Each structure stands twice: as structure tokens, then as C-alpha cells.
Structure 1
Amino acid sequence: MAHRILLTTNCEYGQANVVLALAYELATRPGVQVAIASFAALKKRVAQLQIQLEDAGHDSSDISFHLLPGRGHIEAVGMTRLDTPHAPGVRPALYSFRYTASMLLPWTESEYTEQLRTIEDIVHDFEPDVVVVEWFHRAGQDVCKKLGLKFLVVTPNSSKDLVGFRQPWAAGLWKYPALSSGYAYPLPWSKVASNVYINLKLISGLKFSPTVKNADRVRKDYNRSARPVLFDPCVRYLCPSTPDLDFSLVIPKNVMLCGPLVMPTAPIELELADWLDQAPTILVNLGSHVTFDAPAIKQLVDGFRILLRHHLTPIQILWKLPPEGDVQQTIDECIEDIRERIHIVHWLQSEPLAILRHPNMVCSVHHGGANSFFEAVSAGVPQVVLPVWYDTYDYATRVEWLRIGLWGSKRSAPKAEASEFGQTLLRVAGSNEEATLFRAKAKSLAEGCRKQYTGRVRAADEVLKL
């Protein structure tokens, strides 16, 4: 008898990637049928997933897509790439919290009700044995609770994001860097008071927010649930972190640490593979939601120039840079003297993880997104993080705590300043003792993940146990 697994998720890459990785693994298991319910933007990626399954010799009909109505999560929140970046520190952190309440349930009551009804219809048609819900997809959790379904929650985020405020002695307030703060870990005593203040403002803002109260009313009217929204001690959680990949935390028994939940990778396309074979390479992939203006691009290029001029051996840079605004004109103007060392693409035809796993890859430069962090960890590549908002500051702090890289814009975030960025690149990707230590630690963590935490394999095993 076939196992039928339904996965519900938001459509944004940062949230859906772990769901797609888990769906792939489940669909490769004998006798398992998988359905993915999400918004329209994810349909194309599910089609690509079906092709990957076929290429690997599996039946693509074992996985299907089911459309949810209305707007995706970030579109409904109303966040934009222009007004979301913020600096670290107390005031910028408090300003960034203007979006946090609506993130919990950003849709109108009628939109949310339509989502709930659609998911119920999918459940009745597909008749799943188990449902897996992405952490921020509240509608999936609410339907499962109302209908009494077996379900788990999968999160793309770190264990600190999930259980930071569930630590003994209220350690979530004073021990770990507050969201958006950019504080170091271990937290300096001089920052404890302001860290507590930021966290209390975050908690009180959520508790007394009219948006959250309305969302709770809608949810309780639907499923009569008084359980917490962000963490439910009665629900099983799948998390891509491990004890070695986060700050020191007490992990509740209902949280399964799986290791990075990443997709298997196809071979790198031939032309790019030939280019990567030429020299040690840095991948610069700052996310699809980060916007660059001409001054920002010039600072990054000047930072690259510092690395290229002072590196003892030839090194090259692969830079994913979407063609927005006057990007192309700016690039043409400022890279003339280093053009042969930089390969700029509007989109990566090969998967970032496949590129990171190339033996010539020496550093990943990214904005601090959870997926970027875990992919680099999985590949065993040191990281330079240029954070721009919210938990991206946590990941910049995390790579320094783990000794697998550095925060490349500590004095200039959310922008980057050329001298600081360039010197950081030299420290992480250079021919020096510190860079050697970063590489050794990154490879050690990757090996630990492969041997002890099998990522999507462990997560799929956990799902099928139900």
C-alpha cells in the first residue's frame, strides 16, 4: 500500500527549498506518492523537480503540484527589497520589527479562509497519511489541527530561530543575539541590557499587535486551537541544523536536527565547469531579493580588486548579479582592469550547491540567508557574509562563532565598504594561516554532517515513521 505524503509551503525560495529537497527524497522511496501544495510561483520549480526525478531514473508521476489561491507570503506582507534592508543595532532593529507581526499571518481574512478551504479540498482528494508543513505556512498547520491529521513541521531556519525563546532561565532574552541586532556571540556583557530590551520590544510588539490578535482570532475560530503560533511542544519539527552548526542550545525532544536539507545536484554545465577548472574560485551569490545600486556595485568591485591584487596565486570570481537598473553600465565602467578574473552572470544555470562542491571553490560570499549558509556548510566551503536584514545578521555572527568565515561588512552593513570587504576576502580566501584554518573547519563540519546527519534522508525517514 502506497504512502501518501502532502507537503504545504509558501512559494518563496528561502522557505520552499527545504520542502522541495524533502519532497525529492520522499519521491525516490518505493511506494511513496508526494503532493506539494503552494502558490503559483512554485509550480515551475515543482516541474523542474519532476524532471530531476526522471533524470535520476525515478517516476515523476509520484510527485504532483496543487495550487493554493491568492498571493504568496512576502507579497502579502508587503515587504520590498528597497525598504527592508536595515543596519544592525538597537534603533534599526526596532524599526525592522514593523513587518514582524504581519509575517505571522499577512493575508486578509477572506484570503486566508479561501486557503484553508482549498487545503481541505486537497486533503479530501489526496487523502494523505502524513502532512509536512513549512514553518511559516500557518494555513497548513491549522488545517491539520482541525482535521486531526498526522503532521510534522519543517523549517529552513536554524534551531535558535525555532527554540531560542524556549531556553531555560529565559536565556533567549539575554544569551543569544537578538533578531536584527548584529550582536556577537557569546554576547558581550556590555550588550546584555540592550539585547534584552530589543527582545522585549519584539515580544511585546507581537503580543499587543492588532494584526496578531486578528490572526489569532481567525485561527481560533477555524480550529479552536490555543497553541502557540511559532512553536508547539506537541508538534514534531524537522530542522536543517545540528548541534555543531549553531549557538549552544538546549534542544527539546520534539525537535529533530537533520543536518542541511539540500537537493542532490546535477553535473555543472560544461562551459562553466571548464571555467571553474582554471583557478581557485569565489562564488558571489547575494540572493534574489537584494537590490544593488551603482555605488554599492562599485564598493563590491573595489573590494574584489583588493583581493585580486594581493592574492599570492591566481584567483577568480563567479558573480551572480541580476540585470536591474544601471547595473550593466556600472559594471562595464568599473571592472575593465580585472575583467578577465570576474565572470558575471545574470542567473546561475547550474545549481549553487553544485558550484560550491567544485574542488576549486574556496569561498562563498552571500547575504546571510539560511539556505545559502546551509549550502555552503554542506559543501565545506568558508563563507563571507554581507547581511542586510533580520536573521541574516545572525548568520554573519554564526559563521564567526563557528570559525568557518567572517562578517564582511561589520562596519558598513547593510551596505559593504570596499576596504573592509576586500580585507575580509583576503582573510577568508587568501593564502594565509587564518584562511587555512577556515577551510579546515568548514571541511570538518561538512564531513560531520555527511556522517552523522544525513539531511533530507534523515528527514524523510522521520516522516515515514508516522
Structure 2
Amino acid sequence: MSRHILLTTNCEYGQANVVLALAYELATRPGVKVAIASFAALDKRVTQLQTQLRDAGHESSDISFHLLPGRGHIEAVGMTRLDTPHGPGVKQALHSFRYAPSMLLPWTETEYMEQLRTIEGIIHKFEPEVVVVEWFHRAGQDVCKKLGLKFFVITPNSPKDLIGFRQPWAAGLWKFPAYVLAVSCSPLLLFDDTSINRLSSGYTYPLRWSKLIPNMFINLMLILGIRLSPVVHKADRMRKIYNEAIPPILVDPEIQYLCPSTPALDFPVVIPDNIILCGPLVMPTASIQTVDPELTAWLDLAPTVLVNLGSHVTFDCSAIREFASGFRPLLQSHPNIQILWKLRPEGDVQEALDKHIESDVDIQGRVQIVHWLQSEPFAILQHPNIICSVHHGGANSFFEAVSAGVPQVVLPVWYDTYDYATRAEWLGIGLWGSHSSAPQAEASEFGEALLRVAGSGADGFRAQAKNLAESCRTRYTGRVRAADEILGL
């Protein structure tokens, strides 16, 4: 008799990637059927997952996709990649909060109720033994609570996001920089189990005494802003209509939370027993030799820096110039190093690339620009010649580099990306490459960080990155450990 596991998630890759990694692992286990409920944008990714299963010798039908009605989360919020970037500091952090209330529950009452009814219908038809809900997918949690189902919550972020304000002596308010703290302050959402996170101060850790009061001010302003938000009050009313009997609480001790972190990867926080540290939840990937032999041959030539800031980070001519100038110190002092840059030119960016990359004798031929990576980034990171990952600080990018044992230069652009830039420095596995210029990158600052992390004096970064990766391979096995926890419930 097969075991049925339902996973519900938002469709954005930053949230859904850990769900897809877990779904793949579950579907490889004998007798397990997996259903994924999400919005239309994720359908293609599930189809790709079915292909991966089939190529690996498993039954592709062991994973099925179930469509949720309406708009995806970020589409409903109204965020765009052009107006989302912000710098660090009090003013910029407060400005970034404009999206915070609607991030909690951005849909209209009609849209949300239709989601709830659809999930109930999927549950009645699929009859799951256990449900796993992505932590920002509030509808999945509401349905599970109403129906009294056994369920896990899975998050792509660190445990501090969940338990920041449950630390002794209210440490979440003053000890940790105000960019990733789980807090929400409406009557119903104040103690809910997936509260607002990803704040944006960009302060360093440990927090300097001079930043203590500004840090507390940022946190308190967020609390006040959410408490007074009509958007949040609307969300409260919708949820109360649906499930008034279930009292919302911050982190339910009866529910287990799956996090892609380990004790060695987080700031010093007290972690309760129901927070399960699994290690990086990374998708399995086909080898780069199989998927892209041409790129493999190029990587085989020399030590390589991978620059991949994701599809949501935009580049204009000025940014191209700063990056090109930032590459130069490393390439001039290390003639054996090359750079692989994933970049999709838009507008007049191609002209800037021709001017600053193709015609520069110090760079020409040693920077390969690709519009798209045929292989998954994690497969490329596993090539032995990759010596540094330059990324924007997304949780998935951070944990993939950790799992591959590759040092990092982080160029944060918004919200929790500042957390992962600071975390890389705190852990000794990389540097924040734009302290004074974020959310942009300035050539000399970026170039200095790149030289330190990828140059000849980078042995300390490399050794620490390898040590953390080894702990992920042996004890904190990511999707394997998460699947074991679910199937052992």
C-alpha cells in the first residue's frame, strides 16, 4: 500500500526550491506517492522533476501537480524586480517595509477562500498521510489546522527567521541585526507560526553598540506599521472567518519545522526541539559533463569564478562598467583564473559589455558570458575548478555554495540577502562585496573582496567552506534527512 505525502507551496523559486528537492527525495522512496499543490508558474518545474525521476530510473508518476487558483504570491503582492532593491541602514530599511503587510496575505477574500476550498478538495481526493507546507504558504497551514491533519512546515531560510523573537532576554529585538526576524504584530498574526521576516538593516554581526538603538527602532517601526495596517486587519478577518477555533501561535510546539541550516551555519540562537535542522535542501542535479560538455571543457582549463546573481537582479551600463572594473584586479594578478558570468543582456547592456569586457585586453577571452546556464548552478559549483561563487545573497544560492564547499562573495540587494552577506563573513566562508555601495556594486570594493576570496591568499576561506560542506555530507544530509523525518512521523 502506497504512502501519500502532499506538499503545498508558493510558486516562487526562492520558496519552492526546497519543496521540490524534498519532493524528489520522497518520490525515490519505495511506495511513496507525492502530490504538489501550487500556482500555475510551478507546473513546468514539476514536469522537469518528473523527467529527472524518469532519467534516474524512478517512476515519474510518483509526483503529480495540482493547480491552485489565482495569482502567485509575489504577483499578488505587486513586487517587481525594479522597485524592490534597497540599500542598508535605517532609512532604506524603513522604506523596504512598504511591502511587509501585504507579504503576509496579499490575496482578496474571494481569492483566498477559493485557495482554501481547492486545497481541501485535493486533500479529500489524495488522502495524504502527512502534509508538508512551505512556511509562507499560509493557506496550506490554515487548512491543515482546520482539518486536524499531521503536517510539517518547511522553510528555505534559517531557524532564526522562525524563532528570532523567542530568544532569551528578548535578544531578537536587540542582539541580531534587523533584517531577518520573525515578527508580526496584528491581533491574530502576532503569534502566528509563519510571521513576517527578511528585514533589511544590513548591520554587521555582532551588532555594534552604536547600532543598538537604531536596530531596535527599525524593529519597533515594523511592529507598529504592521499593527496599524488595514491589509493585515483584512487578512485577520479572512482567517478568522475560515478557522476561528484554532488559536494562532508563533511556533507551535506540536508542529515540526524543517530548516536547511545546521548549528554551524547559524548565528548563536537557542533552537527548540521541534525545529529540525536538516542541512542544505538542494536538488539533485545531472552532472555538468552530461548536460553541457562544452562548458565542462572550458571549466577544465583553469580555476573559475562563477558569477550568478539570479534572474531578478538587473544590470544597466553603469553596473556592467563596475563589474568589469571589479574583475580586473583578480585577473591581472592571477593570469590563470577565468570568470563565468551568467547574465541576460537587456536594452543597451550589450553595447556596454562590448566596450568594457570584449575590448579590454586584461579581461578579453577570460570572462565567458552566458545568457542561460544549461546545467543547474549547483552542478557547476561542484566542478573542482570552481573557486568562488558570486551571488546576490538568496538563501538557495547561499546554501548551494555551502553544500558545494565553495567560498562566496555576496552582493546583497534586498531584504534577507543582507543577512546572508553578513552570515558569510561571520562564518569565515566569504565576504560581503558591497558594504558601502549596496544594492549596487562599486568596482574597487567588489574587486578587493573578489581578490581576497578567490586570490592566492584565500586558503582560510576555502578551508572553512570545505569543513562546513563536509558536515553537510555526513550528518546534515539535507533532503535525505528531511524525508526521513517525514516518513518516520
Q: Which category describes the TM-score, using the shorter chain as reference length?
A: over 0.9
Moved more, 435-444 or 313-322: 313-322
Q: Retained in 2: the 8 A contact 1:145–1:225?
A: no
Name the aligned partner's letter for residue 356 of structure 2: C
Q: Retained in 2: the 8 A contact 1:219–1:225?
A: no
2:400 matches 1:380: no
Superposition deviation, residue 235 in structure 1: 1.9
2:472 matches 1:449: yes
- State the partner residue of 1:393: 418
Could you tell me which of 350, 356, 372 is aligned with 2:375? 350
2:342 matches 1:326: no
Could you tell me which of 297, 300, 306 is aligned with 1:277? 300
2:445 matches 1:420: yes
User: Secondary structure in 2 aligned to 1:410?
Assistant: coil
Could you tell me which of 295, 303, 316 is aligned with 2:338? 316
User: Secondary structure in 2 aligned to 1:354?
Assistant: helix
- CA deviation map 1:388-414 (0-9, x unaligned): 111100111000000000000001000
User: Secondary structure in 2 aligned to 1:65?
Assistant: strand
- State the partner residue of 2:156: 156
Name the aligned partner's letter for residue 213 of structure 2: A
2:271 matches 1:251: yes
Superposition deviation, residue 214 in structure 1: 1.2
Superposition deviation, residue 225 in structure 1: 5.1
- Alpha-carbon distance in structure 2 between the residues aligned to 1:287 and 1:324: 14
User: Secondary structure in 2 aligned to 1:411?
Assistant: coil
Superposition deviation, residue 319 in structure 1: 0.7
- State the partner residue of 1:59: 59
- Alpha-carbon distance in structure 1 between the residues aligned to 2:174 and 2:348: 44
2:223 matches 1:203: yes
- Alpha-carbon distance in structure 1 between the residues aligned to 2:245 and 2:324: 52
Superposition deviation, residue 229 in structure 1: 6.8
Superposition deviation, residue 230 in structure 1: 5.9
- State the partner residue of 1:189: 209
- State the partner residue of 2:283: 263
Please list, as runs of the form range in 1=range in 2, the aligned pairs for 1:18-57 lying within 5 A after superposition.
Answer: 18-57=18-57
Count matched residues: 463
- CA deviation map 1:160-185 (0-9, x unaligned): 11211111110001111101011111
- Alpha-carbon distance in structure 2 between the residues aligned to 1:22 and 1:227: 29
Percent identity of paired positions between Structure 1 and Structure 2: 76
- Alpha-carbon distance in structure 1 between the residues aligned to 2:480 and 2:240: 35
**RMSD, aligned CA:** 1.1
Moved more, 326-335 or 104-113: 326-335
Distance 1:323 1:405, change over 3 A: same
Name the aligned partner's letter for residue 199 of structure 1: N
Superposition deviation, residue 200 in structure 1: 1.1
- Alpha-carbon distance in structure 2 between the residues aligned to 1:171 and 1:28: 41
- CA deviation map 1:75-102 (0-9, x unaligned): 1111111111111001110110110111
- State the partner residue of 1:291: 314
- Alpha-carbon distance in structure 2 between the residues aligned to 1:55 and 1:71: 32
Structure 2: runs of 5 or more not aligned: 180-199
- State the partner residue of 2:193: none
2:456 matches 1:436: no
Moved more, 216-225 or 188-197: 216-225
- State the partner residue of 1:112: 112
2:257 matches 1:232: no
Q: Retained in 1: the 8 A contact 2:391–2:397?
A: yes
User: Secondary structure in 1 aligned to 2:364?
Assistant: helix
Name the aligned partner's letter for residue 333 of structure 2: H
Please list, as runs of the form range in 1=range in 2, the aligned pairs for 1:125-164 lying within 5 A after superposition.
Answer: 125-164=125-164
User: Secondary structure in 1 aligned to 2:235?
Assistant: helix
Name the aligned partner's letter for residue 291 of structure 1: T
Superposition deviation, residue 63 in structure 1: 0.5
TM-score by length of 1: 0.98
Distance 1:382 1:225, change over 3 A: farther
- Alpha-carbon distance in structure 2 between the residues aligned to 1:158 and 1:48: 27
Distance 1:229 1:96, change over 3 A: farther
Name the aligned partner's letter for residue 315 of structure 2: F
Q: Retained in 1: the 8 A contact 2:341–2:367?
A: yes
User: Secondary structure in 2 aligned to 1:339?
Assistant: coil
TM-score by length of 2: 0.93
User: Secondary structure in 2 aligned to 1:340?
Assistant: coil
